[in-house]
A and B are shown apart, each in its own frame.
Chain A
């Protein structure tokens, strides 16, 4: 597509529930990144995918967080047993490959109540 698309744009969930966030990168972009932005904070790196290489999961805050990507297309970020501290905007970005400029989606605003 023309840009990076994320869905849903907003999600309110009860504490303890699982959530799935989706990211559609720009067609042809081999690299895909997930970031988290808590209120008033900068972007916190979570995970990135580069082509068919094993993903870099070094930024995932706990084992409740996981992400998958099918080939060079859609990625889903899953948060299990959500906690209130998971409330944040989750941003996805893609780039032609590592080292090139990123294009960001509009984010998913997650609120855990």
Chain B
């Protein structure tokens, strides 16, 4: 079965600093999804990547999928307190199975 490993497990950065979160799959991915979760809330969809080498950006967040489609990174530029939360990557191996999720990366942004 597909397994996703995220690193780091937690991250504390100073406001204004850049950071990167990684997500590695044990198998080739069909689709890779990034979500953000705040305490007491559901998951908020950020981005989906499907093609090897694909890169997408939204505001200060950029996600990339490597050529082999087994690793993705999420990069936040000039972090702000509003970026704090848990970032989860989810993936499916075929487009025909429910998403499997990593354990998440807890991000704290301090002033």
Whether A104 and B98, one on each chain, are in contact in the complex, defined by CB atoms closer than 8 angstroms, is: no
For window 1-46 of A, CB contacts with B under 8 Å fall at 4, 6, 33, 35, 41-43, 45
Whether A105 and B42, one on each chain, are in contact in the complex, defined by CB atoms closer than 8 angstroms, is: yes
Q: A88 contacts the other chain (Cβ, under 8 Å)?
A: no
Instruction: State A104–B101 Cα separation when bound (angstroms).
Output: 13
Q: A67 contacts the other chain (Cβ, under 8 Å)?
A: no
Pick from A45, A102, A104: contact of B100, CB under 8 Å: A45
Q: What total of chain A residues lie within 8 Å of the partner, measured CB to CB?
A: 23
B98 CB to closest chain A CB (Å) equals 5
Instruction: State A79–B67 Cα separation when bound (angstroms).
Output: 43
How many A-B pairs with Cβ below 8 Å?
A: 53
Q: B88 contacts the other chain (Cβ, under 8 Å)?
A: yes
Instruction: State A48–B40 Cα separation when bound (angstroms).
Output: 23
Q: B102 contacts the other chain (Cβ, under 8 Å)?
A: yes
Can you report 23 A-B residue pairs in the complex whose CB atoms are below 8 A from each other? A4-B42, A33-B98, A41-B103, A42-B88, A42-B101, A42-B102, A42-B104, A43-B88, A45-B100, A48-B98, A56-B98, A59-B98, A91-B42, A91-B43, A98-B97, A99-B92, A99-B96, A102-B43, A102-B45, A102-B90, A102-B99, A104-B42, A107-B41
